[in-house]
Chain A
Amino acid sequence: MSSFKQNFKILLIYKSALIGLITILALTGISMYTVFSIPYDEAIKLWRAGEQYWLDNPRNAIPSWINVFSSKKSPETIIFDTQRPQHGVSKAIVQVSDRFTRIKIEFLLNYEYEDFPSELNLFLKSNYNKSSPQLSVHWVKPNGEDIILNSFLIYKEDTYYISNDDRLASELKSMISKKINGTIGYDAPIAVLLFASEDASIINPSTVNVMRGEYKLWIDGIAFEANVNLDAKLVVYGKVFGWAGTDHLRRDLGIALLWGMPIALSFGVVASVSIALIQMFIGALSAWFGGRIDSLIQRITEVFMILPFLPILIMISTFYKFNIWILLIIIIALSIFGVGVKNYRAMFLQIKEFPYVEAARAYGAGNFRILTHYLMPKVIPIVIPSIVLSVADFVFLEAVLAILGLGDPLTPTWGKIIYDAYSNGALYKGLYHWVLEPSFMLAFTSLSFAMLGFALDKIFNPKLREM
């Protein structure tokens, strides 16, 4: 034990080991926090709930802290809800007679960003009995101009996807074109048409700019019965969200980034430690008993060495669609007869001849006791560095499976995010954050293990330390 303490002291001398150790501790801390604050089941539910759950989030948004570094501020998402009183929201319901109700809802939006919002949606909820209310939705620009966006009858739960209203798009386009005596030649989204300054700059997508000021969206509704209530929620989607941004399904990437951490850590550590221990045990068996057991183990090892590991693993995971923890067991099962067994056997063949083993045998220690109490403990310090180093390999192995689309379909992992990003063409569309965030997490994790592992290697293998 004292030698362990001594080694630990030496460890702290190496700066790289210190950095690695601190990072690993930090990652472990964050993982613990994640596991306790967002339980596993809830994380899966959040991640797999579908777009309905995340309707208030912008799509493909970049992280909001990017605003700090960029000169052009991207808009945050602005939400107005008549069920949540806040400045700029007003609702009036007037009982005209026992057959008519007039409803007026107003949202005042002070828009001071330099960039356009990404989308606009209007969510409506009404408690009518028989005949649905008739609404017309108005848009008032800062210059006072009032445009009717649309008029329609609504269901009890309804959504007006303003950004998807093609008729409105062409109407707005021709209206603005007439006003500025030019044509808008490009496919301008509605969010741009609603918020743009109406001058010559709008003709070109690179010069179009925001008309800043106070906008108003108001709803003029008539219900054809008494006591009808209407609630509305206006979401003006921004282009930034949270600390991690969102993906194509509006999901908060932060959840997957956080949850990826405990999964990556436990996957990597469990795989590397258990594979090393089992291989060590098999190697010890092989060296200690020799003879038939030895040659049997050696032949099995050779068979597994000739099987290509990753292809076999890919084959198993496509064919049987296991979840991540069963996959972990299969990875361990495929690796226990790996090349490591041969290395351990070579080490144990030497240790076997040491006098202290002889002594143990002389006083009558059983085979199993010698294996676990005399042979294996001698080797463990030597292989700790390689165990630490191989954690990174298994973290990446999980990522590989996920990126190939073969991993666990439910659990949010870093590899899964990269897979989603790739299959949605994130790099072509310039959504770099989507690929970079999980990649940095992967790199960060494995580098910290690698730095610690290399330093440990120097400490436990003194021959290297001299060099």
Chain B
Amino acid sequence: MVPRFVKYIVKRGIILLLTVIAAVYITIFIANMGGYVDEIVKSDLYLSISQSVRQNPTYKALNDTQVEELINAIFTNELKRIGFDKPFIYRSFAYLRDALSLNLGRALFLSSDSGSRNVRIIIFERLPNTVLLFTTMQLLLFLIGLFGGLFLSRRYGSFLDRLSVLLAPLSSLPGWFYGIFLILIFASFLRLLPYGGMVDVPPPTDKWGYALSVLRHMILPVMSWLIAYTFIGVYARRTFFLMFSSEDYVELAKAKGLPESLIQRRYILRPTLPPIITDFSLTLISSWMGAIITETIFNWPGIGSLFYIASIIFDSPILVGLVVIYAYLLAITVFTLDFIYAILDPRIRSGGI
């Protein structure tokens, strides 16, 4: 029993790792944009070398051509040192190794609030903001969807049920889109809530004031996603539960006269929970990365808006770094879920699959 289980887990782990490697390599290739970034790096390097040479009093005595030669010599040396004398394809593997070991290097242009150019510091400074906002949203959506769905599946055909079916198409409009209207109404017209940002400027000094200010700034983005995705969430869960509640074993449980709450807990919720949990965790992780436009519209200082800014100014190390961290997060989540299900699912446990 144990070897089969271990074999399955190891195999999944290796496949996931290879997947991450391939995904990161593709990203590196795109992020280099056909050599353009190399040119930026080179011209940056040349500029800094020529400045340092020209400002160095030791070289004051040299004439122009000698200075030029000196700069060029240092420049070629430096290129060799950072590996720029080789074609991109060689360097891409070095980049891949660095990226995978989370040695993300230094940003080309951006710096963190604390002034660091280290990509990892820049990203981890902003990641908590994104996690805070989007985990709140997704948790709310998940809970409303789950309990709303259960509730409606019990009251199938009622007024509320038909209302949820009627309102489901509203979810074809994305969250940020409702965000525009919310800003228009609550910030621009009523002037009740801030236009965007995460905290008042200047930020409140005491802890409670700070938390309250962040909470105030979270209202509109959270509301926009709730408006956009509540109806479809409830509708989808309700349909899902309805399909399961017509299964034979549920009918049997009803026939046995088991209490309603027990049927829901043991016969409907339990078998449907694994796909729901998978769905939730994957949606949660991808919302951290996919919410670029929501963060941009609400000016939320998370990794989505960081990605946007970095892509506008061609800061490739940050772009690659974000994708790497995202790929790792997703892969770890998938692996963890695989692991848990492998333990829980008797079919995998005994090697049926």
Interface residues of A (CB under 8 A from B): 16, 299, 302-304, 306-312, 314-316, 318-320, 389, 392-393, 396, 400, 403-406, 418, 427-428, 430, 432, 435-436, 439, 442-443, 446-447, 449-451, 453-454, 463-464, 467
Contacts and interface: CB of A to CB of B under 8 A. Distances in A.
B156 A467 contact: yes
B296 A302 contact: no
Given A315-B31, A403-B293, A404-B296, A427 B172 contact: no
Interface of B: 15-16, 18-20, 22-23, 26-27, 30-31, 33, 36, 156, 165-166, 168-174, 176-177, 180-181, 183-184, 187-188, 195, 239, 242-243, 286, 289-290, 292-293, 296-297, 307-308, 311-312, 314, 319, 322-323, 326-327, 330-331
Given A303-B19, A314-B311, A454 B168 contact: yes
Contact of B311 (A315, A400, A430, A464): A315
A307 B180 contact: no
Contact of B169 (A310, A396, A447): A447
B19 A312 contact: no
Contact of A306 (B30, B312, B330): B330
B336 to A, nearest CB: 15
Nearest to A467: B242
A400 B18 CA distance: 32
B23 A306 contact: yes
Contacts of B19: 299, 302-303, 306
A427 B184 contact: yes
A318 B312 contact: yes
B61 to A, nearest CB: 45
Contact of B177 (A303, A312, A442, A449): A442
A311 B289 contact: yes
A464 B168 CA distance: 14
Given A302-B19, A303-B23, A318-B312, A309 B290 contact: yes
A461 to B, nearest CB: 10
Contacts of A449: 172
Given A16-B166, A405-B312, A447-B169, 9 more contacts: A299-B18, A312-B27, A318-B314, A393-B172, A400-B176, A403-B297, A435-B180, A447-B170, A453-B172
23 contacts: A16-B169, A303-B23, A306-B330, A307-B26, A308-B323, A310-B289, A310-B292, A310-B293, A311-B289, A314-B311, A315-B319, A316-B30, A320-B33, A400-B174, A405-B312, A418-B180, A432-B184, A439-B177, A439-B180, A449-B172, A450-B169, A454-B168, A463-B243
A18 B36 CA distance: 51
B58 to A, nearest CB: 41
Given A319-B36, A439-B177, A446-B172, A314 B292 contact: yes
Contacts of A442: 173, 177
Nearest to B293: A400
Contacts of B16: 302
Prevailing SS type, chain B contact patch: helix
A443 B323 contact: no
A404 B292 contact: yes
A320 B29 CA distance: 13
B322 A311 contact: yes
Given A314-B311, A316-B30, A307 B323 contact: yes
A396 B31 CA distance: 25
Nearest to A392: B172
Contacts of A315: 27, 30-31, 311, 319
Contact of B22 (A303, A389, A392, A430): A303
A443 B314 contact: no
A304 B187 CA distance: 39
Contacts of A312: 27, 30, 323
B165 to A, nearest CB: 8
B307 A306 contact: no
Contacts of A403: 293, 297
List of 3 A-B pairs having minimum Cβ-Cβ separation, nearest first: A450-B172, A450-B169, A319-B33
B173 A435 contact: no
A319 B180 contact: no
A182 to B, nearest CB: 32
Given A311-B322, A446-B173, A467 B30 contact: no
Contacts of A299: 15, 18-19
B239 A307 contact: no
B97 to A, nearest CB: 18
Nearest to A302: B19
Nearest to A395: B172
B289 A308 contact: yes
A395 to B, nearest CB: 9
Contacts of A307: 23, 26-27, 323, 327
A446 B171 CA distance: 10
Contacts of B31: 315, 319
Contacts of A464: 239
Nearest to A443: B173
Contacts of B319: 311, 315
B296 to A, nearest CB: 7
Contact of A396 (B174, B308, B330): B174
A201 B311 CA distance: 53
B22 A396 contact: no
B307 A311 contact: yes
A310 B290 contact: yes
Contacts of A303: 19, 22-23, 26
Nearest to B183: A427
Contacts of B188: 427-428, 430, 432
A306 B293 CA distance: 20
Contact of B290 (A308, A418, A446): A308
A418 B181 CA distance: 12
A178 to B, nearest CB: 39
Contacts of A400: 174, 176, 293
Nearest to A396: B174
Nearest to A400: B293
A443 B177 CA distance: 9
A442 B286 CA distance: 24
Q: Which of A389, A393, A403 has the most CB of B within 10 A?
A: A403
A383 B27 CA distance: 31
A414 B327 CA distance: 33
Contacts of B172: 389, 392-393, 446-447, 449-450, 453
Contacts of B156: 467
A467 B33 contact: no
B289 to A, nearest CB: 4
A322 to B, nearest CB: 12
A447 B289 contact: no
A463 B246 CA distance: 11
Contact of B30 (A309, A319, A418, A430): A319
Contacts of A430: 188
A113 to B, nearest CB: 26
A389 B174 CA distance: 13
A311 B292 contact: yes
Contacts of B173: 392, 396, 442-443, 446-447
B239 to A, nearest CB: 6
A97 B3 CA distance: 114
